[in-house]
Amino acid sequence: MLIGLTGNIASGKSTVAKYLKELGAQVIDADQVARQVVLPHSPALKEIVNSFGPGILHEDGTLNRAKLASVIFQDAAAKEKLENILHPRIADAINRQISSFKKSHPGGILVLEAPLLIEAGWHKSVDQVWLVTVDPQLQLQRLILRDKLTPEQARQRMASQMPQEEKKKFAHVIINNAGSPSDLQRQVQAIWHSLPAGY
């Protein structure tokens, strides 16, 4: 079974993924795959430098993700350009991992944790979409604390994503992360144990 786990920035996706891993699922983290795709000397990184200039690299030749983020979260066209470079490559790498998992773990549960699961169209390839939701005010506070952003920067990043209400239309399962970590863990365990037998 392939579960697509998504949610907007600072919603608690990674915490849910961690709980699912503890319950026996295998997890593919799309953000981690995205980092591998842009390693130094990779075709994707060369294309990003051609599009955005060498100023988005650190001195050691690695991608300065913070600098790139500050560019794309302010400019929808730049964000689209970056996604056009990255998404096909990330999708290829993820598809290879999914195929490998299906061969080695028939009947196992694989979770694809991807912030842009719906935007990138990957939701069409999964058996279920699980959406982690959070109150926007709480999301703002978490984002400011976690990423050390100003309220304005945090709001900009939140506004650049598909609204949570829109994502709900695609979700088979909604996990509300409004409470404590133990509340969240209990929800995840209950949903896990309600999955059809045979998984």
Binding site residue list for ATP? 10-15
SS3 of residue 131 by DSSP: strand
Residue labelled with tokens 């970056």: 82
Residues flagged as binding site: 10-15
Q: What span, in angstroms and rounded, lies between the C-alpha atoms of 99 and 103?
A: 6
- In DSSP notation, 60-128 reads TS-B-HHHHHHHHTT-HHHHHHHHHHHHHHHHHHHHHHHHHHHHHSTT--EEEE-TTTTTTTGGGGSSE
